Chain A
Amino acid sequence: MDNNKRNNSTWQNVWHNFKKNKLALFGLITIILLVIMALLAPIIAPYTLSEMDFANMDEGPSLQHILGTDKLGRDIFSRLLYAARISLSVGLIAEAIALTIGTTLGTTAGFFAGKVDTLIMRTVDMFNSFPFILLSITVVAVIGPSIYNVMIVLGVLSWTGPCRIIRGQFLQIKNEEFVEGARAMGASNLRIIFKHMLPNSISPLLVSATLGVGGAIMTEAALSYLGLGVQPPTPSWGNMLQAANDLHALETKPWLWLPPGISILLSVLSINFIGDGLRDSLDPKAQQNDH
């Protein structure tokens, strides 16, 4: 009970600091709005995904189509909303995969140390020497481009960050009194890890996970832009940007490629603001010289 209360006040403290950071608050509100718009896409979107307006094909913004239409007469604004669902969920799921692998291996390495640790850290070295983008492109091209494959590839290639963080935290705290205490009380390894060590390592992990979602959204966009990610007709912000591949469309029809690009920028920017705000509000030291 007592422990629970203390935890609550810690998080209240974090929130108290977080909301003082205007940029972080802006980021949080933007992301919440984006998520709501993505979830409500079928209700908000004025047109369905595949609806073609043959009278207004390839037209710029108008009253009927506020962001214009593509060359098949599909409404850009509606596609943008549906694409938000895809792009945001690829980011979230890829990061969730990375976190699961990273936390498991980082916990193992930090807790058991010794040979297991060496082996895991060598694997981390190996993954860190992979040319990330080229390898993702290679793997996606080999196993076939699809939304699920992009999630898996991005997740499997980005677990090293969380892994190093958790390992570092564990090495730092494993000889501290509360861990010794739990051990002396006869707690099992699993209990020590889950009840005592992981909760005390959560702050840096939370920051890295937040920033990781932004990174995954950017990489998904890059892969889909190259045609190796989410496949049309399913829209994602990245594959909508493919419209810019055609120099003529790039020059004369900015409504085709500017909205998805700005959506990527806005969502990644908001996530980075949130991550940065979290870092500052979780770490009292950082507040002195950053705003």
Chain B
Amino acid sequence: MQSYILRRILQVIPVLLAISLVIFMIINLAPGDPLANLKQTKNITQEDIEQRRETLGLNDPLLVRYFNWITNALKGNFGRSLQTGRKQIFELIVNRLPATLLLAISSMIISWALAIPIGVYSALNQYSLADYSITVLIFIGLSLPSFFFGIILIYVFALKIPVLPIGGMITPGKGGPLDIFLHLILPAFALGIRGIASLARYMRSSMLEVINEDYIRTAKAKGLKASIVIYKHAFRNALIPIITIFGLQIPWLISGSIITEKIFTWPGMGTLSINAVFARDYPVIMATNMFYALMVFTGNLIADISYVIVDPRIRYD
């Protein structure tokens, strides 16, 4: 197991390097000039701009610049933002990370807490009206773009029935855990909808598969109470394959969080990266893409490891 994890981590190094090279090339083929803003500023002459270009290394050949970037990045130095100049990008990202993690973890909790009972209930009442309605709702959840769902949530719960705050993470002048919690509800649901829907779907079919197994029939036949059969025998076994979804959920959450953060102006990495894209702040774009790639990879790795833990038949030797 340990050697498998180690091998996977070693395997990912070239993959991450390749990703960084690809993103670096794409960004640097861009026609836009990162110093374009300076040209509009008065008191700055052409020589000043040229000098800045030289100090930023913008005149070096592409591969040289990539090599410089990657050697610094490996030391945790992603350079400075072109917009806010002063701050190290690493510091910017580390400051934004807690908000992103809070949002992602909350919607993960919501989706598991809701999806598992929904899926189990649906499976135990297969072909009932409730089961059909849940199935249709699950499909709607899977087909609803998270940003449109976010817009609907804002419309209903913040504008028409103003019970929840929107915009950012805290009310200016207030703060504290309760305030953050209230701000968190809508974005966490907007981001969680897809997870709720797909988890409930997996849970339903996993449960259906298990309750048709021989050992469930045996348990029933030997006279165990229905509740014990369902919760002790069926539910636990149905949950096992679902655990592996946990890792797969991380990439969905990451992609979803970027746009959800933007809609709710949540002060996380997603907002940081979208703003960087609009401002053509290349060093920040580069760094956030790499951070997200690392997070996606970690999610995939967790998924693969959980397959091995859950199903001992899978071997990775």
Contacts and interface: CB of A to CB of B under 8 A. Distances in A.
Contacts of B292: 131, 134
Nearest to A218: B145
Contact of B274 (A137, A218, A261): A137
Contacts of B178: none
A131 B208 CA distance: 34
Interface stretch (B44-52, B152-160, B221-229, B236-244): B152-160
B15 A122 contact: yes
A138 B259 contact: no
Contacts of A49: none
B258 interface: yes
Interface in A137-158: 137-139, 141-144
Interface stretch (B26-34, B76-84, B85-93, B109-117): B26-34
Chain A interface size range: 35 or more
Contacts of B139: 23, 269, 272-273, 276
Contact of A134 (B154, B280, B289): B289
Given A138-B23, A139-B26, A142-B29, A131 B160 contact: no
B277 A265 contact: no
Chain B interface size range: 35 or more
B248 to A, nearest CB: 11
A138 B159 contact: no
A133 B277 contact: no
A112 interface: no
A135 B259 contact: no
B16 A129 contact: yes
Contact of B142 (A135, A228, A272): A272
A216 B208 CA distance: 31
A247 interface: yes
Contact of B151 (A122, A130, A257, A272): A257
A225 interface: yes
A180 interface: no
B254 interface: yes
Interface in A85-143: 122, 125-126, 128-135, 137-139, 141-143
Contacts of A138: 23, 26-27, 277, 285, 289
Tell me the interface secondary structure of chain B in the complex: helix
A60 to B, nearest CB: 15
B151 A133 contact: no
Interface string A261-279: 1001100110111001000
Nearest to B212: A289
B250 to A, nearest CB: 11
Nearest to B144: A265
B27 A142 contact: yes
A272 B138 CA distance: 11
B183 interface: no
A122 B278 CA distance: 31
Interface in B208-235: 208-209, 212
A128 B300 contact: yes
A68 interface: no
Nearest to B293: A129
B254 A129 contact: no
Contacts of A264: 145, 148
A222 interface: yes
Interface in A192-235: 214, 218, 221-222, 225-226, 228
Given A257-B151, A290-B205, A290-B208, 7 more contacts: A128-B300, A129-B19, A130-B293, A131-B254, A225-B147, A244-B151, A291-B135
23 contacts: A23-B135, A126-B18, A129-B293, A129-B300, A131-B254, A131-B293, A131-B296, A134-B255, A134-B292, A137-B258, A138-B26, A222-B145, A222-B147, A225-B147, A247-B159, A250-B154, A251-B155, A257-B151, A261-B151, A261-B152, A289-B126, A289-B208, A290-B205
Closest 5 CB pairs of A and B: A131-B292, A269-B143, A268-B143, A133-B255, A142-B30
